[in-house]
Structure formats: structure tokens, C-alpha cells
Chain A
């Protein structure tokens, strides 16, 4: 019965988890640096992950700007 409601599906849970880790939690202003590898953690077709994809894209852009400006 509970399994119908509390979704234990591995994929969905991982998406939910990544969304929280990458998009939520306390932000430390001024000290955050992040390196972005070739991202294999996002599946672009899944709408749940769109906000995370956007975040990663922003981070990638920010990183390339930082690199360009030294």
C-alpha cells in the first residue's frame, strides 16, 4: 500500500534528490565556487529536472566567463 504512495522508484528519487542538492539548501553568498564536468546526471527530457538543467547551464556560463576573464 505504502509503495503506491511513497515513490521508491530509483530514477525519480534520484531526480528529486539532485534537484534538492543542486537547487536548494542554504546559499553562502560570496564564497561559492563550483566546477562543472561533462554532466551525466541530468536527463534533459525529464521535466522534473529542468530547473537543475538551467542551474547547470548558468554555472557553466559563469565558469566560462570566469575562465575568460582569468
Chain B
């Protein structure tokens, strides 16, 4: 029988509290939950047959719910869905081998929660606004003033496309800078991705102290008011999924 790992946490302070909580919850396929520990670090696991672990919506949501419940009471490192290990002994050795790495990560995320911040735009509106600026450039104007030919048309189009992309990125960078300035008071650890899709211009994740939720909401409200043409979507608080990017061997 394999073991599926849900999360890794430290129970130095209150091991009874963890056991009491695990007794009130069930794992995937309603299996009992238990811990495998090395010193003060524990992995929350349940038994499962390898062939029974199906990546469907029910199991994925169950997995997430369990991690969320644990994260409400403890600092947890979420483990990616589908992580199976063949024995408790191997889990113990894995915790022992990676003890320092896990401890450091637990320290980084202690008493913190993750928020997702996505910014959406109306791409046509944004393109139109930026295109007007791009077309007003001196170099483009000078090409336009030359004798029209197939070559100048080609050059003009390429230059316009290039300038448009440059300005779009510069515009997004300005918004990111403004967001980070607004968020500074929250002292977050943050990661930004730009231009995820035509509409999703910013995809950010923030790691904040648990008690800064309301402040974060206020900041995003301010940003939304400042940029009425953009849509700000804040989700959370989440367990710190995006801030535990360590590989455990």
C-alpha cells in the first residue's frame, strides 16, 4: 500500500493539536490520516493503492480542502497532488535528507498566507490607446513622410508592431511598479508574471502575514479605483502554494 502525502509541517509546539485535527478529517477515498515524522517535522499522509489515485475534480478538491484546513491551524508546506511514496520508512528518510531545506521553507512561510492578484484589460481598448501613442513617434512620422513604396509600407508596419509591443510592455511595467509601490506597506514577498494572455496582463502572487488581509483588500480597492479601465481580481487567502518551490529528493 502506497502513501499519499498532502502536506509537510512542523509540530514542535503542539503535536496533540495536530492529532486531534487529523482525527476529525479524512483523506482521499475517505482514508484515515496519520503522520510520518522525523524529529519535529511531519508529513501528513494516508494509505492508497497506486491504481486508485485518479486525478479527477473530486480528489483534487478533497486534497486542496485538506491542505486548507491544516493551513488554518499550522504553517504547512503543501505537497503537489499525486505525490506517492511506497513506505513510511522512505518518507522518514526523505524528511531526514531534506530536513534543513524544509525547516528553512517553513520559516519563510510561518504565519503567512498567499494571495493571487490578477489584472485584466480590454485588449482592444488598450491597443487603441497605445497605438495612438506609437504612431505619433518621430521615426514613424519620418518614414510616413518618405515616398510610399512596398518597402516603406513593410518597414512602417514592422516598426509600428515593434513599438506597440515595446509600449505595451512599458505600460504594464508602469502598472506593476505602481502596484508594488502601493503594496509596499504590506511588506509582501511577491512574484509577477506579465502578459499571461491578451487579457490577463498581470498575474501576481503575494505572500503576506495572516493579519494583513484587510489591508491587502484596501490596497487592491485603491488600485481598482485608480485604474477603472482594468479589472483587478484578488483571491485568497491560500496556503502558500507558490512559495514552496523546493524539490525534495
Contacts and interface: CB of A to CB of B under 8 A. Distances in A.
Interface of A: 1-2, 4-7, 12-14, 16-18, 20-37, 39-41, 47-48, 50, 56, 59
Given A24-B241, A27-B80, A12 B233 contact: yes
Given A21-B63, A33-B82, A6 B249 contact: no
Interface size class of B (residues with CB under 8 A): 35 or more
A14 B63 CA distance: 13
Top-5 shortest CB links A-B:
A34-B82, A24-B241, A41-B57, A20-B241, A25-B80
B200 A48 contact: yes
Contacts of A35: 50-55
Given A4-B221, A5-B224, A29-B248, A22 B55 contact: yes
Contacts of A29: 247-249
Given A13-B235, A18-B60, 6 more contacts: A14-B61, A16-B235, A24-B242, A26-B83, A27-B80, A35-B54
Interface centre among B64, B67, B221, by most A CB within 10 Å?
A: B64
Interface string B40-74: 00000000001111111100110110010000000
B64 A21 contact: yes
A20 B64 contact: yes
